[in-house]
Structures are given as C-alpha cells and as structure tokens.
Amino acid sequence: MTTSPMRSPKPGYRQFWAWFVFTPPLIAICTGILLITIANKNLDNLVTGDFSKVGLGYQSTSAARADAKYREIEADVTLPAAGGTVSVTLTGLHDNPQQIRLTLAHATLADRDQQIELVRVDGGQYQGRLPNALQDRHYLVVADLQETWRLEGQIAAGNTQVHLHPYRESPL
C-alpha cells in the first residue's frame, strides 16, 4: 500500500475565497477615502447674501437691502470688456460716501470672485480698477463700506452694463 504525501494547505493570501470576501470592502474603503478627499478639496461657496432658513427654504433677511429700497438708491454699473476701469453711478439718498464696495461673485466658482473698492470721483460717480475681465455670469453687490445699504443684481457673460435697483427680489 502506498501512502500519498500530505499536502500542506496554501497560505491565506493564495486562497481564492479570501480575495473574494475581502476585495469588495477594500475597494469600498479606498473609493470612500478618495471621494471624501475630492469633496474637501472642491468645496462649494455659493451663497453670498444674508439668508435665514424658514421652513424648508431660505429667505433673504437683509436689512441693508431694505434700507436701499427706503432711500431709493439705484446704480448704473459699467464694466470694461477687458481688465480696466469700473464705473458706478449712484442715484438716491446715499449720503455720497467716499468709497463703496463692488463685489463680483461668480455664479459657481469662488476663486473667480472679485471685490473692488471704488472711490468717489464726482457727486454720485465712483471708479475703481477691475483686475481681471469677467468671462462668465456674475452676481453683483454694490454697498457702502459699512453695509448700511446694499444693491444686488447679476450680469451675464459679455455684457458690460447693468442697472441695479432694490425693487425686485435678490438674485443671490
């Protein structure tokens, strides 16, 4: 009678069932880590106004917009086609501040937002330097430095002029 030599079992890493059982959870863990890394790297900063949660929606609660409406402040904004001088003409009871702030918030990308301090040139006329030309749709916010009043609007890509008034609902 011949005896067959006993075979020793294969090590665990060479077993089919070990790979079959452990591979899907390992892939899920690696994919989850990758997705969390991507999400943290590309955060969305899309809200640029005064909002409060009311029920399931959000509502603008800006007292500065209400003050602009009370004072009947309006603005004509002229942007250069390329980088250059921005001009804003204010009308209404705005007290002629020495400086105002123009915020150009990109619709989806926070790194394309621009904030410009405009200096009074003559009466209600303000000017400042636009460092980069606008290539996409932007939200505009014109306010005094203390934000006692605020005008909001939006400008489409390619447009160079927009009229801002406080009588309609905020696009932000």
Q: Higher confidence at residue 105 or residue 43?
A: 105
Q: How confident is the model at residue 168 (pLDDT cuts 50, 70, 90)?
A: low
Mean pLDDT is lowest, of 42-51, 128-137, 161-170, for: 42-51
Read off the pLDDT of each residue in 155-171 and give the average, rounded to a whole number: 75
The residue to which tokens 């939006």 are assigned: 154
Per DSSP, the three-state class of 162 is strand
Q: Are residues 158 and 76 in the same domain?
A: yes
Q: Higher confidence at residue 35 or residue 2?
A: 35
Q: Are residues 142 and 75 in the same domain?
A: yes
**pLDDT tens digit sequence for 144-153:** 888 888 888 8
Q: What is the pLDDT of residue 171?
A: 52
Q: Higher confidence at residue 159 or residue 20?
A: 20
The domain of 24 spans 12-41
Structural domain count of the chain: 2
Q: Are residues 20 and 104 in the same domain?
A: no
Q: How confident is the model at residue 103 (pLDDT cuts 50, 70, 90)?
A: confident
- Residue 119 belongs to domain with CATH number: 2.60.40.10
What gap in Å lies between CA 38 and CA 15, rounded to an integer? 34
Q: What is the pLDDT of residue 139?
A: 86
Within 8 A by CB and 6+ apart from 97, the residues are 120, 144, 145
Percent with pLDDT over 90 in the chain = 11
